[in-house]
Every structure is written in structure tokens, then in C-alpha cells.
Amino acid sequence: AQSVSQHNHHVILSEAASLELGCNYSYGGTVNLFWYVQYPGQHLQLLLKYFSGDPLVKGIKGFEAEFIKSKFSFNLRKPSVQWSDTAEYFCAVNAPSGGSYIPTFGRGTSLIVHP
């Protein structure tokens, strides 16, 4: 079965610090990769996605992620975080499972940014 690992469960940063959240997945074939964010009291929403092409993808609010196929990784980065980035971040992989493509989510990383 497909698995997605997010290494950091809780991250605490000060404003302007750089951020990198790790995500690794287990499927060796073609996948679609996503990062979702859930701000306090809000729905899950898409932050960025990778389908093909340039392995460095840019999303909303200055976030980016790099797909490294050889490492089965899709780490999320932001050079300078803001207090408003405080949220839960989920990595997700869309891969074949039982004949269809379904998303598998990591357990999430809670990010707290201190002003």
C-alpha cells in the first residue's frame, strides 16, 4: 500500500525564518504530488501541486516544493515565514491503488510561527 511520511510533526519558527517540511512517499511509478494547508478554523486547501515537467513548483503565498524522484521526496519550502503561515500542512500523493488513483495523505505537520 502507498504510504506518505511527513518527518516533522511539530515545527515552531520565528517570523522571517526559513521553512522546509519533509515529505517522502513509497510508490515508484508515476504520481501526482500535492501540499495542502489548513489554517486554524478553515478548510483544507490546495497549496501547490506537481504533475510533470519542472520539478520545482511554486504555489500560493510564496511556497514552493521540489520533486526529487530519486529520493521519493516532495519537500515544501518557504524562504521567510510569516505569522499568518501558522497552520497544519499535509503532503498528499495520488497513485494507483486497486485500479484507480486515490490520494494518500501524510499525518500532517503543525507549524507555529511566532511574531
Partner 1 sequence: GAGVSQTPSNKVTEKGKYVELRCDPISGHTALYWYRQSLGQGPEFLIYFQGTGAADDSGLPNDRFFAVRPEGSVSTLKIQRTERGDSAVYLCASSLTGGLAGEKGQYFGPGTRLTVL
Which parts of this chain interact with partner 1 (CB under 8 A)?
Answer: 4, 6, 30, 32, 34, 36, 43-46, 49, 90, 92, 94-108
Which is nearer to partner 1, 81 or 91 (by Cβ)? Answer: 91
Which is nearer to partner 1, 43 or 70 (by Cβ)? Answer: 43
Q: If we measure between CA atoms, which residue out of 93, 37, 86 comes closest to residue 60? A: 37
Which is nearer to partner 1, 11 or 44 (by Cβ)? Answer: 44
Which is nearer to partner 1, 12 or 82 (by Cβ)? Answer: 12
Name 3's bridge partners. none
Smallest separation (angstroms) from partner 1 to the CB of 107: 5
CA atoms within 13 A on the CB side of 111: 30
Name 19's bridge partners. 78
Residue 47, phi then psi, degrees to nearest 5:
-100, -50
Smallest separation (angstroms) from partner 1 to the CB of 76: 14
Are 7 and 108 a contacting pair, CB within 8 Å? no
Are 64 and 57 a contacting pair, CB within 8 Å? yes
Smallest separation (angstroms) from partner 1 to the CB of 18: 24
Smallest separation (angstroms) from partner 1 to the CB of 109: 10
